[in-house]
Structure 1
Amino acid sequence: MAQLRVHTDRIEVLLTPAEKALALRADDIVVQRDDIRSATITDDPWVWIRGIRTKGTELPLVVAVGAWKYHGGLDFVIVKGKRQAVVLELAGGEFARIILSTNHAAALIDRLKLGETPFDAE
């Protein structure tokens, strides 16, 4: 599962080698904290996936990793099974939204609100 690192100025999504292969992506994702418009916890991340997969892998309700294109831009998705996820709505950068399955959704949201540093989660 991707590792999340929260810093005072950015969030890093460190993809595992398998996730990079499934997403057809060589680089990790870095999001500036100023670009985060909202963060939402969801128990059903599958309903948040919009558009069509442009790069990546999808096995419905099992795994979705990669980029999804919709009429307004591009989303990045790492969803695994029925795990809880965090949906980050972004104002700028490469993606309009990032949807990440994580075991630490509530802690991530709290850390984003408080602006504390650093925080690692998987």
Structure 2
Amino acid sequence: MAFQYAVLRAVPRVDRGEFINVGVILYCQAYDFLRAAVAVDGSRLRALSAEADVEAVRLAVGAIARACDEPVGSARENTGLATRFGMLTAPKSSVVQPSPVHAGVTSNPEQTLADLMTRLV
């Protein structure tokens, strides 16, 4: 089945544009699946910026993971998984940013999410 995903990036200094990958959001309509897996490596983040607020990045990616798991916020955010995925992957100028959306095919979205985490984060 077709799926879409975006990589979550921590950008400690938005003005410099340098980032490390800290998670993956995966959406598969056929399996009614929307999940995020996250892992923040504080030492890698501080290598880009000694002043990086690692805890703030962990809180931000944790909020994204929770938003995948359950409806939050306004009614618009809760109209369906596709809408929620679109809102979570919309371009942002913040410390945690999504990559462009990519596509693929899967027969097991949970395993695909784990494989993408291993390969990309």
Q: Is the TM value for this pair above 0.5?
A: no
Return the TM-score normalized by structure 2: 0.32
Return the TM-score normalized by structure 1: 0.32
Higher helix share: 2
Higher strand share: 1
> Considering only CA atoms, is the larger Rg found in Structure 1 or Structure 2?
2
Q: Which has the higher contact order (CA 8 A, sep 6+)?
A: 2
